[in-house]
Structure 1
């Protein structure tokens, strides 16, 4: 049976790339498996619409995932749900579903009028033990676990505990009120928003989404597919960008533009000293042989070709400085400069977002400006991410 709404009208308004619990930053280490518990999670969409569906994920699960009940509504501060906004989520008409191991599942659409930049509350009840939780690590929006089935609770109960990851939710999609397209940003921790204020939507893709929403037309929604610690070529913290590109980017409903903001970790890890020093434990999370500048460029060319095959525009950011961070080496800096030179002049992209130029200290160009980093000389603070978002020419997405 064909839905009365053309599938092309669905546009992804929010995303979080799925990861295995042992392939992230370790926020679930030591956490007991979820069982007979409700997860309540808050997120901010980019663009609005009149219907919504939620993509749940068991893509790294080792057994079927049972969702006993689920609801979506407009979020109130402190974990509450705005009165009158709660909508029961069903799956092929049923309130309960078993999601096969290795698979995602889309909820049925529900009518819910959503303005741009609305904050949603999504609750799901897990009646059975979840041994392996597909997640996104970390979550920059606070979520909670609540004993038992509390899906319909309008306010957060006193026995709620903080949820350390984004769990079992990978996307929110809407039927827009006007023609809209999605801008998908593929990146690492700087895209993910590391160093920004939690619960404030201060990553640069979030801030870009706010600028696009304020502009209005043409409608462009933003899906943040950053993974902290991610690399272009090799797995480690999350699957490599090349490996997850089809799932996280090309399969996006309403896809119109791709922004590639990755490659810095490939270079930093490849040129870091592996001599048993202070980075030894950290570097163990990044398997695979060191890569070269040419390897990284070849990886970018693959993503460009795969984007062009789908008829979407593809842009890239230059790699911002990171001298002063533990991972920095002179060899890695030379490689960063070489990759950036190719990004700027190689002609591979529809446009280049020169984030290196925005963040570098004029007096010390291999470092981030002091007022733009979070204290580690690697990640941005709110002001730094705002500067990146403000530097983007919105007409690129027309």
Structure 2
């Protein structure tokens, strides 16, 4: 277990007096005072690869067996030879915000998807997920290449991917699979294009809803195409692709950083196809310092710590083991989540209200995440919840809860480190509101400049 840091400096100090808070501040303090900080049982501390955390389909997969065998020999604190270069959390099919292809699925389609890796290597492989599929998923062909413009790829860079030395693979419902590693030199912050051919009807598709990136679709098999002319349809989501891993010199270090959270981690409000989410900006800071590190984004828009939702994924205390603890070589996780637990019980929450969550319940959820990470020797950084004034979550009761949770994050010592993202993007003249220069326009989600300011607030030495 990572030792606690009792000298967290400025980021771990409680807020000074703020007369603009008034009754909301006092109500928040009262809520915190009544919160019982009793420990919850660890939720699946062994994670996805442990005996208690896998579905039947996952237990039958070659990947599950190989990783479980590895941990039984070496223990979970040891390094794997692969390291995450890029990741996205799988979601069940839904169309809450904008039309996408998840509910209809695919038949005789090629899907081309662009991602940017945070760390380089000399070999690459992909992870495909059928976590929410209702039937086995047949991947007939897959390639990886360097991205050119739009759906086009660089000439001579296309590499065919194999699965157990075969060109196709069937992923059971609820399962996932890794391709074989292929020699493919990739640099940190390089964009890659992954192309999948889905010949047979897939049924509703496991996907990641808000990608802030354009994906492309074509009729027929175009996995080997260099140009993008055949890809006439687009979507702002990722389908089946849940990870790109790299291997090579230095990739066995246990220093990957996972950003875990909701839409503010997912990058809602950032510019499409620019990789300006705060985890992207954090990866750029590492690269600029000459020390590229794996920074993996496991945010899901709308996600909550304590409640399952119909469209925004399983609750954080459950999906943490699947999305974070299954990643290789994770050293640190940054937790920025809880604002949807606070605001989700209101009528403005998409898909309908979720059960009301008390400050005590939300803090207990955070404690569960901390314990799960510590059980795997992972350091945990707590991020304060960012401002909501002027947004559809803005009520005195919600602000009081946000203040109470933030005060606990700053002062309790439960987290190994604290990054004060609330203060990083708040308006100095009105600290309950996002600064105008950082507001995407809805008073809840930052814009590109706001996400950059969030990443700048993170002390790289604490990760």
Q: Give the TM-score category using the shorter length.
A: over 0.9
Q: CA RMSD in A?
A: 2.0
SS at match of 2:293: strand
Instruction: Tell me which residue corresponds to 1:234.
Output: 307
Aligned partners of 1:23, 1:345: CA distance in 2, in Å?
A: 39
Does residue 148 of the first structure (1) align with residue 220 of the second (2)? yes
SS at match of 1:8: coil
- In the superposition, relative to structure 1, how do residues 188 and 149 fare at CA in structure 2: closer, same or farther (>3 Å)? same
Does residue 206 of the first structure (1) align with residue 280 of the second (2)? yes
SS at match of 1:377: coil
Instruction: Tell me which residue corresponds to 1:261.
Output: 336
Instruction: Tell me which residue corresponds to 1:122.
Output: 194
Aligned partners of 2:426, 2:231: CA distance in 1, in Å?
A: 46
Contact 1:40 1:123 in 2 (8 A): yes
Contact 2:212 2:236 in 1 (8 A): no
**Structure 2 regions of 5+ residues with no counterpart?**
1-61, 71-77
Which is further off, 161-170 or 374-383?
161-170
- In the superposition, relative to structure 1, how do residues 283 and 146 fare at CA in structure 2: closer, same or farther (>3 Å)? closer
Per-residue deviation at 1:269?
1.9
Instruction: Tell me which residue corresponds to 2:168.
Output: 96
- After superposition, the C-alpha distances for 1:29-55 in whole angstroms (9 at most, x for unaligned) are 796431001000001010101111100
Does residue 245 of the first structure (1) align with residue 354 of the second (2)? no
Aligned partners of 1:174, 1:395: CA distance in 2, in Å?
A: 24
Instruction: Tell me which residue corresponds to 2:451.
Output: 385
Aligned partners of 2:180, 2:399: CA distance in 1, in Å?
A: 49
Instruction: Tell me which residue corresponds to 1:178.
Output: 250
Instruction: Determine which of 409, 415, 424 is the counterpart of 1:358.
Output: 424
Aligned partners of 2:146, 2:88: CA distance in 1, in Å?
A: 19
- In the superposition, relative to structure 1, how do residues 23 and 262 fare at CA in structure 2: closer, same or farther (>3 Å)? farther
Contact 2:96 2:351 in 1 (8 A): no
Aligned partners of 2:404, 2:94: CA distance in 1, in Å?
A: 33
- In the superposition, relative to structure 1, how do residues 121 and 29 fare at CA in structure 2: closer, same or farther (>3 Å)? closer
Aligned partners of 1:390, 1:306: CA distance in 2, in Å?
A: 27
Instruction: Tell me which residue corresponds to 2:403.
Output: 337
SS at match of 2:308: coil
- After superposition, the C-alpha distances for 1:184-232 in whole angstroms (9 at most, x for unaligned) are 0110000000000110000000000111122233x52100000011110
Per-residue deviation at 1:27?
3.4
Per-residue deviation at 1:360?
1.1
- After superposition, the C-alpha distances for 1:332-358 in whole angstroms (9 at most, x for unaligned) are 001100000000000011110100111
Contact 1:24 1:136 in 2 (8 A): no
Does residue 189 of the first structure (1) align with residue 272 of the second (2)? no
Per-residue deviation at 1:254?
1.1
- After superposition, the C-alpha distances for 1:278-328 in whole angstroms (9 at most, x for unaligned) are x3xx454443x2110011110010111111110011001000111101121
- In the superposition, relative to structure 1, how do residues 14 and 346 fare at CA in structure 2: closer, same or farther (>3 Å)? same
- In the superposition, relative to structure 1, how do residues 158 and 100 fare at CA in structure 2: closer, same or farther (>3 Å)? closer
Aligned partners of 2:456, 2:189: CA distance in 1, in Å?
A: 17
Greater share of strand: 1
TM-score of the two chains, using structure 2 as the length reference: 0.80
Aligned partners of 1:132, 1:29: CA distance in 2, in Å?
A: 8
Per-residue deviation at 1:81?
1.3
Aligned partners of 1:102, 1:285: CA distance in 2, in Å?
A: 26
Determine which structure has greater relative contact order: mean sequence separation of CA pairs < 8 Å that are 6+ residues apart, divided by chain length: 2
SS at match of 1:81: coil
SS at match of 2:437: coil
Instruction: Tell me which residue corresponds to 1:313.
Output: 379
